[in-house]
Structure 1
Amino acid sequence: MYRKILITTDGSAVSSKTACAGVEFAQQLGAEVLALFVAPEYQYPIYVEIIPPSYPSEEEYRAAMQRAGNEHVQSILESCAQKGVRAEGMTAFAESAALKIVDVASQSNCDLIFIGSHGRSGWGHLLLGSVTNKVLSHTKIPVLVHRLIKDPRPA
């Protein structure tokens, strides 16, 4: 059925729960996993004429985001290792996380994208947009949307 599954993470509690479900799904199918974290591109401050000394350089920003991405992806890789699922991880940079997810899935020959949904509706959805909805509208690869019934954060 599915041989290679792309599992996305943004480091949130929702994406961590989604990743766990994705790894279990991959184990059941005997599929391999590509774990992906997409970091936003570096933004120069446009509101000042001189960049403040405390503002990180592009190199510092990219290094910090690479470390954060590696941490988020590492937890998925460890989960895969515990369950005997072959996996690799990747951190990418892009203006649009959704388009990068679609591109990576296509370039890496993934045959399923396993992604979470925060479950926002109404104004929250309209104002914040949805990476999941954008992925759904831009890919030809099947997408499995994992939606949590309750908030994973502690009460």
Structure 2
Amino acid sequence: MYSKILMPTDGSELANASIQAGIEFAKKVNAKVVGIFVAANYQYPIYIDIIPPNTPTEEEYQAAMRAFGESYLEPARVAAHKEGLEFESVVKFSDAPAKEIVHTAQQYACDLIFIASHGRSGVGQLLLGSTTSKVLSMCDIPVLVHRVKKH
């Protein structure tokens, strides 16, 4: 069925719930799991004349975002290992997260993307979240959209 599943997260509650559901699904089909966090690219402060001394360098920003990404992916790693699944985490930088998710799925030879219906934007929207919608429109491999049920 599926041998390697990509699971994106933005660290939100909804994404975490979907990751847990994705791990359960991966266990059922005995698939490897690749977790991904996509951080925004570093933005140079070009709109001001003097750069404040507390502005992080690009290297500092990337190190901080890698740390955030790994912390967001850690619950998935723990859950996967608890279920005896292979897990690999990936932190990427892009201002087009959907495009990066699809590219990473291809790069890591994933045959399914298991993604939350919404991320940080929340469930207040009537339609799918923008990143999820873009992944669906760009992707040529199956995408399973997980919707968290309200209690």
Normalising to structure 2: TM-score of the pair?
Answer: 0.92
Shift of 1:104: 0.2
- The one-letter code of the counterpart of 2:2 is Y
Any stretches of 5+ residues in structure 2 without a counterpart? none
Residue 114 (structure 1) aligns with: 114
Q: In angstroms, what is the RMSD of aligned CA positions? A: 1.6
Greater shift, 105-114 or 52-61, is seen at: 52-61
Residue 36 (structure 1) aligns with: 36
Shift of 1:121: 2.8
Shift of 1:120: 4.2
Residue 22 (structure 2) aligns with: 22
Shift of 1:50: 2.2
Residue 10 (structure 2) aligns with: 10
SS at match of 1:67: helix
Residue 82 (structure 1) aligns with: 82
C-alpha distance in 2 between matches for 1:148 and 1:44:
37
The 1:102–1:12 alpha-carbon spacing in structure 2 relative to 1, beyond 3 Å, is: same
Percent of matched pairs sharing the same residue: 48
Residue 62 (structure 2) aligns with: 62
Shift of 1:141: 0.9
C-alpha distance in 1 between matches for 2:125 and 2:70:
31
Give the 4+ runs in structure 1 shifted more than 4 A: none
- The one-letter code of the counterpart of 2:73 is V
C-alpha distance in 2 between matches for 1:8 and 1:137:
16
Residues matched between the structures, number: 147
SS at match of 2:89: strand
C-alpha distance in 2 between matches for 1:75 and 1:87:
11
SS at match of 2:33: strand
Shift of 1:145: 0.3
Residue 73 (structure 1) aligns with: 73
Residue 49 (structure 2) aligns with: 49
Q: 1:121-143 CA distances to partner (integer Å, 9 max, x unpaired)?
A: 35xx69xx610000001110110
Shift of 1:52: 1.2
C-alpha distance in 2 between matches for 1:112 and 1:92:
19
- The one-letter code of the counterpart of 1:102 is V
Shift of 1:34: 0.4
Any stretches of 5+ residues in structure 1 without a counterpart? none
Q: 1:1-26 CA distances to partner (integer Å, 9 max, x unpaired)?
A: 00000011110000000000000000
